[in-house]
């Protein structure tokens, strides 16, 4: 244009800035911006917003904020779109607190906040489960839309306060805001997550009565909800309804059904679903393989699990830490410890470092089979890899040491639990008490029982019975009767025989 003698105006230059910004060429955008000043033009809010948006799209949110601050100092006026862009950019990168500070800074001073800004903040706060602030914002004199309500409902569902989400859902109608399919999906999924599938089905029927068409997400939530509580027939009925309505199942649909069948140990039916996926043009992903490998391992069909594990490699599907953990746990429980150890080494080689679950499975198997040297070597390797013991691993160590009579070692692990600030659970105390009883150290067992109660860990029937039976065997009937009375007072069920 300029080569042909046609002068570019502010509108043309703004279009050019927008193009460069959309392409991620921020430096070129700012070159054009500098050219605007050279030509004596005054950039308007649209041009400035375009530059801010370009920085946000590139994830350079702090540069966008600095640019904003310079503009304000120089007296430039930004509008609601400008600040909405900035606030949304901050929320997208998790800087919700900074977004909230910016909103308070501009409120009634620079511009009047609108529903877009509040919705962005609410959605950001949702992801941090800081719903109180979101509620405060909704009390502002601003008409909120369905997106705002959905964000807030989603937040309550994420922290399992589904009844509060339902209150928001009910409020929508009173405020003249009609729920959409996403609103129903949030609530249906929320109720399914807390195993209230009847409530979820009521909402499903309600949305159909309102002529809101359920989509794949809706059906998936219900199928997964029924599967998780082992109501596989109901899950299958929802799947059949989905097919009748010509809603196409996706990988989540199939994996949820497979998971349900595996939970009720009908792994061969899960495998049929797995095979059906390919016929329906849906490629299984790593999660599908993980479900099947875990399912076969649970029923000790290790060869089938191994075939699937090898098939993943052939199909160029990279096993993740869950894939390895499921297979390793299955191998350990079947006594194939050497192969399990090989897989642990393979994890390192393939860039999938073992996690605490991997080490717990291995350690339990090694101690159970009295491979103490290998167990110590594994603990050393774990420490070198920067993985800290959790309460489960401490329990495994205590149980392992107790079973071979290494009571001093078990006590050292127990002390380590207390030093590290962990809260021993009933299994921790029960393992120690059982070993004291086997060694006829009843005073120590009763002391441990008292420590257990003082630390707020209520003994279960098995813990009491371990001590009571040991006391009876040694003729300590008075002490045994005292514990039985204590059980009755506490309402702990016991075998009167």
pLDDT digits (tens, 9 = 90+) for 82-108: 777 887 877 777 776 777 677 767 665
DSSP β-bridge partners for residue 107? 111
Q: 177 pLDDT exceeds 50?
A: yes
- Domain of residue 226 covers 188-284
Residue 266 lies in a domain: yes
Q: List the end-to-end C-alpha distance of the chain, in Å, as a whole number.
A: 100
Domain assignment present for 18 = no
CA–CA dist 34, 24 (Å, integer): 17
pLDDT confidence of residue 131: 46
Q: Mean of the pLDDT values across residues 475-486?
A: 84
Question: Closest by alpha carbon to 207, among 196, 216, 218, 191?
Answer: 218
Torsion region of 378: left, alpha or beta (phi above 0 gives left; psi -120 to 50 gives alpha):
alpha
pLDDT at residue number 129 = 36
Residue 94: per-residue pLDDT: 73
Q: What is the pLDDT of residues 243-265, one digit of tens each?
A: 999 999 999 999 999 999 999 99
- 496 vs 76, which has greater pLDDT? 76
pLDDT of residue 7: 64
Of 199-203, 234-238, 470-474, the range with the lowest mean pLDDT is 470-474
Q: Rounded to whole angstroms, how far apart are CA atoms 340 and 362?
A: 8
Q: Of 4 and 289, which is predicted with more confidence?
A: 289
Question: Does residue 3 surpass a pLDDT of 80?
Answer: no
Choose between 199 and 168: higher pLDDT: 199
Structural domains counted in the chain: 1
Summarize the confidence of residues 415-422 as an average pLDDT. 81
Q: Is residue 159 part of a domain?
A: no
Residue 262 domain flag: yes
- In this prediction the pTM is 0.69
How many Cβ atoms from other residues are within 10 Å of residue 219's Cβ? 26
**How confident is the model over 257-299, as pLDDT tens digits?**
999 999 999 999 999 999 999 889 999 999 999 999 999 999 9
Residues 299-329: tens digit of each pLDDT: 999 999 999 999 999 999 999 999 999 999 9
Task: Classify 111 as helix, strand or coil.
Answer: strand
- Which residue stretches of 128-196 are H helix? 131-138, 146-158, 162-174, 181-193
- pLDDT above 90 for 156: no
The model's pLDDT over 373-384, given as tens digits with 9 standing for 90+, comes to 899 898 888 888
CB atoms within 10 A of CB 18: 19
Extract the tokens encoding 136: 């405060």
Q: Which of 117-131, 235-249, 259-273, 438-452 has the lowest mean pLDDT?
A: 117-131
pLDDT computed for residue 495 by the predictor:
57
Report if residue 30 sits inside a domain. Answer: no
Average pLDDT of span 35-63: 82
Residue 149 CB coordination number (10 Å)? 25
pLDDT tier at 466, thresholds 50, 70, 90 = confident
Which of 7-16, 102-111, 334-343 is predicted with the least confidence, judged by mean pLDDT? 102-111
Copy the structure tokens of residue 317: 């599907």
- Token match 């860990």: residue? 457
Per the domain annotation, does 476 fall within a domain? no
B/e letters for 371-385, b = 16+ CB within 10 Å, e = fewer, are: beebbeebbebbeee
Position 376 in a domain = no
| CATH code of residue 228 | 1.25.40.10
What average pLDDT is seen over the chain? 84
Residue 226, domain member (yes or no): yes
């Amino acid at each position: 244009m300029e080569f042909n003698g046609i002068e570019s105006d502010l509108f043309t230059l703004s279009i050019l800035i927008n193009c460069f910004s959309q392409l991620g060429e921020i430096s070129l955008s700012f070159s054009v911006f500098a050219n605007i000043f050279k030509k004596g033009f005054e950039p308007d809010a649209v041009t400035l917003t375009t530059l801010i948006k370009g920085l946000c799209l590139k994830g350079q949110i702090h540069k966008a904020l600095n640019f904003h601050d310079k503009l304000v100092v120089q007296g430039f006026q930004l509008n609601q779109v400008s600040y909405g862009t900035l606030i949304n950019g901050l929320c997208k990168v998790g800087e919700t607190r900074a977004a909230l500070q910016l909103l308070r800074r501009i409120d009634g001073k620079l511009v009047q906040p609108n529903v877009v800004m509040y919705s962005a903040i609410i959605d950001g706060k949702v992801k941090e489960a800081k719903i109180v602030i979101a509620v405060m914002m909704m009390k502002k004199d601003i008409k909120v839309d369905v997106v705002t309500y959905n964000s807030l409902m989603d937040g309550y569902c994420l922290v399992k306060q589904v009844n509060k989400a339902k209150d928001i859902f009910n409020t929508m109608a009173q405020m003249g805001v009609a729920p959409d399919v996403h609103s129903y999906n949030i609530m249906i999924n929320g109720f399914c997550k807390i195993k209230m599938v009847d409530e979820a089905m009521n909402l499903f029927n309600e949305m159909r009565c309102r002529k809101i068409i359920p989509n794949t997400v809706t059906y998936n939530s219900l199928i997964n909800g029924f599967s998780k509580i082992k109501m596989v027939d109901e899950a299958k009925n929802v799947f059949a309804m989905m097919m009748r309505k010509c809603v196409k199942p996706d990988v989540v649909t199939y994996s949820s059904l497979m998971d349900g069948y595996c939970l009720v140990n009908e792994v061969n039916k899960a495998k049929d679903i797995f095979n059906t996926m390919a016929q329906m043009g849906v490629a299984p992903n790593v999660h599908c393989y993980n479900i099947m490998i875990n399912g076969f391992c649970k029923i000790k069909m290790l060869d089938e699990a191994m075939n699937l594990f090898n098939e993943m490699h052939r199909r160029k599907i990279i096993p993740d830490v869950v894939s390895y953990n499921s297979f390793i746990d299955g191998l350990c429980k079947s006594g194939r410890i050497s192969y399990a150890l090989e897989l642990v080494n393979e994890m390192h080689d393939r860039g999938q470092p073992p996690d605490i679950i991997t080490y717990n499975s291995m350690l339990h198997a090694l101690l159970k089979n009295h491979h103490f040297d290998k167990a110590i070597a594994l603990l050393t390797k774990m420490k070198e890899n920067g993985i800290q013991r959790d309460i489960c691993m401490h329990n495994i160590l205590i149980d392992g040491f107790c079973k071979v009579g290494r009571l001093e070692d078990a006590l050292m692990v127990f002390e380590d639990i207390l030093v590290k600030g962990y809260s021993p659970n009933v299994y921790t105390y029960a393992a120690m008490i059982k070993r004291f009883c086997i060694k006829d150290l009843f005073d120590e067992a009763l002391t441990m029982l008292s420590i257990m109660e003082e630390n707020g860990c209520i003994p279960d029937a098995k813990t009491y019975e371990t001590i009571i039976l040991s006391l009876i065997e040694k003729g300590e009937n008075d002490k045994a009767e005292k514990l039985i009375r204590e059980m009755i007072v506490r309402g702990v069920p016991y075998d009167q025989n």
